[in-house]
């Protein structure tokens, strides 16, 4: 059983050499009396939070254990089951190992995949954890209204691309920022954002936002934190909402950047709220009922960036932190 293992806790940016590939044996039968399942992993999801678990930090959940297999979200096929609700051949998504086969002792955390008319890989992204993040953060935290001005950072990524399309479906004016010309073109032409800009080419983020939002921003879906958040605060409208989804620009820095414009919160009566997708897992089927029809009708499109083979998983994960991923980064490791 080939596995990706964390070598040791990291400091600063993760490197490929912080992970290594090893082989171990695994029994493909569930132990007698266990209600666990053995799964064959098909697709592994690369997610920004994973690097936080490579560090000894507080407040981000239990970190990975050096010398142990890396865990993350994935799509898998059940090869043996001791659980009454799952049988051999079922497809599932949820937390699994970065390895060919995994024994999952608590299958209650897995979601059974009932709709297989869409690609199974979608359950690492648009129909999985990042999709639910976009849904919860936009509809619940941002409380959007038709015609409002919406800004999204890291907009071409797994979460951002979906938030922008939800906002367009609601009749909002939508602008996204991303880190390359290719991504900016994708935002405008593929995801039909009204406007987009490459934040790496802007000398002055405040000026870029004023250019895109002469009347200000009602809703900011924040994926990056840092300087962008500071500039957005200056451009928010009264009673605006900010969903703090993530702060990917700050995950690797020794000294997090201070946000200096927080006074705007009370001047402009802004509501700024963080959220964790786990709290929304009970709403997963409601989310599917909303999103699946839009995918089937072509009203929502989706871009994935697929690396091939378990060996490519470490480098695929690192792509998130240099912005080399174009769309949702995942790793295909086996055929069904
Ligand atoms: P993406 O697919 O958007 O990939 C990460 C992207 O972040 C990169 O492609 C890059 O895009 C951008 N990025 C990387 N480094 C920086 C930097 N220093 N400054 C600005 N942008 C940077 O990831 P996801 O869609 O999966 O995640 C988006 C955000 O949502 C993350 O902050 C993540 O932690 C958060 N999240 C939060 C959850 C919650 O429960 N609250 C759940 C899931 C995700 P670019 O080229 O545009 O710079």
Residue 63's pLDDT is what?
86
Residue 255's pLDDT is what?
83
* Secondary structure, 3-state, 64-126: CCCCCECEEEEEEEEEEECCCCCCCCCEEEEEEECECEEEECCHHHCEECCCCCCCHHHHHCC
Nearest CA to ligand 1 atom 47: 178
Q: What is the pTM of this model?
A: 0.97
Query: How far is residue 167's CA from residue 149's CA, in Å, rounded to a whole number?
Result: 9
Atom number, ligand 1, closest to the C-alpha of residue 251:
18
Residue showing tokens 């990975």: 64
Does residue 59 carry a pLDDT above 80?
no
Q: Taking all residues of the chain, what is their mean pLDDT, rounded to a whole number?
A: 96
The closest alpha carbon to 239, from 262, 275, 263, 266, belongs to: 266
- Give the mean pLDDT of 52-64: 79
Q: What is the ipTM of this complex?
A: 0.99
Does residue 174 carry a pLDDT above 80?
yes
Does residue 57 carry a pLDDT above 80?
no
Residue 60's pLDDT is what?
65
In testing the pocket of ligand 1, which one of 132, 135, 154, 287 has its CB within 8 Å of the most ligand atoms? 154
Residues 270 and 244 sit within 8 Å (Cβ to Cβ): no
Tens of pLDDT, residues 3-46: 999 999 998 889 999 999 999 999 999 999 999 999 999 999 99
In testing the pocket of ligand 1, which one of 44, 137, 153, 157 has its CB within 8 Å of the most ligand atoms? 157
> If you measure from the C-alpha of residue 134 to the centroid of ligand 1, how many angstroms do you get, rounded to a whole number?
12
Tens of pLDDT, residues 112-166: 999 999 999 999 999 999 999 999 999 999 999 999 999 999 999 999 999 999 9
What are the structural domains, with CATH classification, of the chain?
2-126+303-332 (3.90.180.10), 129-278 (3.40.50.720)
Ligand 1 neighbours (beta carbon < 6 A) = 47-49, 130, 133, 154, 156-160, 178-180, 183, 223-224, 245-246, 248-249, 275-277, 320-321, 323, 325, 328
Atom number, ligand 1, closest to the C-alpha of residue 276:
40
Does residue 272 carry a pLDDT above 90?
yes
The closest alpha carbon to 244, from 146, 129, 152, 132, belongs to: 152
């Amino acid at each position: 059983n080939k596995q990706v293992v964390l070598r040791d806790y990291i400091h600063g940016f993760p490197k490929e050499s912080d992970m290594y590939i090893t082989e171990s044996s695994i029994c493909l039968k569930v132990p007698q009396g266990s209600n666990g399942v053995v799964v064959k992993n098909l697709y592994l999801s690369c997610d920004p939070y994973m690097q936080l678990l490579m560090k000894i930090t507080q407040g981000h959940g239990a970190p990975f254990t050096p010398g142990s297999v890396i865990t993350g979200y994935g799509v898998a096929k059940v090869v043996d089951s001791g659980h009454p609700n799952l049988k051999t051949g079922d497809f599932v998504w949820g937390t699994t190992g970065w390895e060919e086969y995994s024994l999952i002792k608590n299958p209650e955390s897995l979601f059974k995949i009932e709709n297989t008319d869409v690609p199974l890989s979608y359950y690492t992204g648009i129909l999985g954890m990042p999709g639910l993040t976009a849904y919860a953060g936009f509809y619940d935290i941002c409380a959007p209204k038709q015609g409002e001005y919406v800004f999204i950072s890291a907009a071409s990524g797994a979460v951002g691309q979906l938030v922008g399309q939800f906002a367009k479906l609601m009749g909002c004016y939508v602008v996204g920022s991303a880190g390359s010309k290719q991504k900016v073109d994708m935002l405008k032409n593929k995801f039909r954002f009204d406007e987009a800009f490459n934040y790496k080419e802007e000398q002055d983020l405040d000026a870029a936002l004023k250019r895109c939002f002469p009347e200000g921003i009602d809703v900011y879906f924040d994926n990056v934190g840092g300087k962008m958040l500071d500039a957005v605060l200056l451009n928010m409208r009264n009673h605006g909402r900010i969903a703090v989804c993530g702060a990917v620009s700050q995950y690797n820095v020794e000294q997090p950047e201070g946000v200096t414009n927080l006074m705007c919160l009370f001047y402009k009566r802004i509501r700024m709220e963080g959220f964790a997708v786990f709290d929304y897992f009970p709403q997963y089927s409601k989310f599917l009922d909303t999103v699946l029809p839009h995918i089937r009708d072509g009203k929502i499109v989706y871009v994935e960036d697929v690396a091939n083979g378990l060996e490519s998983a470490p480098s695929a994960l690192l792509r998130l932190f240099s912005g080399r991923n174009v769309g949702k980064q995942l790793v295909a490791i086996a055929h069904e």
